[in-house]
Amino acid sequence: MRTSPNVIITGTPGVGKTVHCEQLVQETGLKHLQINQVAKDRDCHDGFDQERQSWIVDEDKLLDTIENDVLQGGYLIDWHACDLFPKSWIDLVVVLRCPSTSILYDRLSARGYSKSKLGENMDAEIFGTLLEEAREAYDVNAIVELTSEDNDDIEENCARIVAWIAAWKRTLETSVH
């Protein structure tokens, strides 16, 4: 039985997943599992997509590689997708959104994204693609959608997630005793 929850922090590139995870690591002691880095470091990919400038993740190999760790609990899973992780592994799915397209556009442009990659990610955010994927893969009660446009949003979001983690742990303690 896990004594700490597993939380997915997902959203379109540029919404602040990594910033949230880094702050939450400091506040909660949970471990940050940055999936792009794991795929690269543990050879869970089928090469590099030059056009998109990203690794082509071998999802089966990735899941096999992280399964033993994640089943122990206590992870913040940072990735732009969530629907590949089994429901039984995940306690909360946080979908970060950046409703201001100009803010997101500027963030992605600053990363040097190609016109096609920029357009693809802007479309995904505008149409709520990642929120829909989360809704199709997980129970609605396990999903929270949070706005991430500025530092105040990050502070508020992290406070909400920290409170949720504390409540999860209290519920676990109550059910154990």
pLDDT in tens, 23-82: 999 999 999 999 989 999 999 999 887 777 777 899 999 999 999 999 999 999 999 999
Residue 107 assigned as binding residue: no
pLDDT over 90 at 174, yes or no? no
SS3 content of the chain, % helix, strand, coil (to 5): 55, 20, 30
Identify how many contiguous H helices and E strands the chain contains and give both numbers.
Answer: 7, 7
Residue 135 assigned as binding residue: no
Residue 111 assigned as binding residue: yes
pLDDT score of 176? 67
Give the domain ranges of the chain.
Answer: 7-164
Tokens in use for 35?
A: 């999936």
Residue 19 assigned as binding residue: yes
Task: Please answer whether residues 56 and 46 qualify as being in contact, where contact means their C-beta atoms are separated by less than 8 angstroms.
Answer: yes
pLDDT in tens, 76-128: 999 999 999 999 999 999 999 999 999 999 999 999 998 989 999 999 999 99
- pTM (2 d.p.): 0.94
Q: How many CB atoms lie within 10 A of CB 19?
A: 17
**CATH hierarchy code of domain 7-164:** 3.40.50.300
